[in-house]
Amino acid sequence: MAGYVFGLVLHPTRDVSEVVGLIGRWAVRHGKTLAVRAEDRHRVPASVEALPADQLAARSDALISIGGDGTMLGALRSAVRTPKPVLGVHLGKVGFLVEVEPPELPRALERLVAHDFTVESHACLACDVCGDDVVAFNDIALVRQPGAGFVAATLAVDGQRYGFYRCDALVVSTPTGSTAYSYAAGGPLVSPATQAVVVTPSAPMAGISRSVVLSPDESIHLELRPDSAPVAVEMDGLVIRDAATEGSVHVRYVRDAGLVVRLDPRRYQERNQLKLSLLDLPLLPEQLRELLPDGLREQLNRRELPPPR
Which positions are catalytic?
69
3-class secondary-structure state, position 73: helix
Residue from 84, 219, 220, 120 nearest 165 by CA: 220
88 has binding-site annotation:
no
139 has binding-site annotation:
yes
57 has binding-site annotation:
no
Q: How far apart are CA 48 and CA 246, in angstroms?
A: 45
161 has binding-site annotation:
no
Residue from 198, 143, 210 nearest 174 by CA: 198
Is the C-alpha dihedral spanning 65, 68, 71, 77 positive or negative? positive
67 close to 10: Cβ distance less than 8 angstroms: yes
Residue from 103, 92, 96, 115 nearest 13 by CA: 92
70 has binding-site annotation:
yes
87 Cβ contact list (under 8 Å, min separation 6): 62, 63, 64, 65, 99, 100, 108, 112, 261
Q: How far apart are CA 189 and CA 281, in angstroms?
A: 10
138 has binding-site annotation:
yes
24 has binding-site annotation:
no
Binding residues for NAD(+): 69-70, 138-139, 166, 168, 203
Binding residues: 69-70, 138-139, 166, 168, 203
